[in-house]
């Protein structure tokens, strides 16, 4: 018998999806909604991108469109953190921006992959937003060659789909 996802069938699913998009931890969400952290994790990996993509594709479902808007807002926030870091040379801010941009772009890339239905080996590498973020990150890290090298390696791995 196939197992029903306890998040998909949850009455607060919309709120849970929203929390996931906002990058709340699996544990926090699990506790808040009395579900298993593993279920939340599985739902995030297996169901969330498809569900956002589906709603976007049919242009219906206010909730999922909200989610997309929120994702885009998060991306803006991450971008502005990065720009701020670039101006101030503040590495902590830069790293925070990278983290947010990365989580958010990964999810956007997954959604895009669902929308495309094509093998998407290199969604990140060809996404203009991603290229923009990458270039801002690299510029921001210029005064920190060591961190820059590490971040560059991380970004390459990310683009390669690992």
| For Zn ion, the closer CB: 7 or 133 | 7
Please tell me whether residue 43 binds Zn ion under the rule CB under 5 A. Answer: yes
| For Zn ion, the closer CB: 45 or 121 | 45
Site string for Zn ion, 5-24 (x = CB under 5 A): x-xx----------------
Are 144 and 92 in contact by the 8 Å Cβ rule? The answer is no
Identify the residue among 47, 65, 66, 127 touching Zn ion (CB under 5 A). Answer: 47
What crossing angle do the helices spanning 145-159 and 128-140 adopt, rounded to 10°?
160
- Here the contacts of 50-53 (C-beta below 8 Å, separation 24 or greater) are 50/114, 51/17, 52/17, 52/21, 52/111, 52/114, 53/111, 53/112, 53/114, 53/115
Stretch 76-135 residues interacting with Zn ion (CB under 5 A): none
Residue whose Cβ sits closest to Zn ion: 5
| For Zn ion, the closer CB: 8 or 158 | 8
Q: How far apart are CB 144 and Zn ion at their closest, in Å?
A: 40
Are 16 and 5 in contact by the 8 Å Cβ rule? The answer is no
Q: How far apart are CB 6 and Zn ion at their closest, in Å?
A: 8
How many residues form the binding site for Zn ion (CB under 5 A)?
Answer: 5
In 10 A of CB 64, how many CB atoms? 24
Please tell me whether residue 65 binds Zn ion under the rule CB under 5 A. Answer: no
| For Zn ion, the closer CB: 43 or 102 | 43
Whose tokens are 């510029």? That residue is: 139
C-alpha 86/C-alpha 140 separation (Å) is 4
User: Which positions lie near Zn ion, rule CB under 5 A?
Assistant: 5, 7-8, 43, 47
């Amino acid at each position: 018998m196939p197992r029903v996802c306890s998040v998909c069938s949850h009455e607060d699913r919309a709120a849970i999806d929203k929390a996931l998009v906002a990058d709340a931890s699996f544990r926090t969400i699990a506790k808040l909604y009395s579900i298993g952290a593993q279920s939340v994790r599985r739902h995030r990996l297996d169901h969330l991108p498809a569900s956002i993509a589906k709603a976007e594709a049919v242009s219906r479902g206010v909730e999922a469109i909200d989610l997309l808007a929120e994702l885009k807002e998060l991306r803006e926030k991450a971008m502005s953190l990065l720009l701020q870091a670039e101006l101030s040379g503040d590495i902590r801010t830069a790293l925070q921006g990278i983290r947010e941009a990365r989580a958010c772009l990964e999810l956007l890339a997954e959604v895009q992959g669902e929308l495309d239905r094509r093998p998407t080996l290199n969604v990140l590498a060809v996404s203009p937003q991603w290229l923009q973020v990458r270039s801002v990150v690299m510029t921001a890290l210029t005064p920190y060659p060591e961190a820059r090298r590490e971040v560059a390696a991380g970004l390459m791995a990310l683009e390669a789909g690992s």
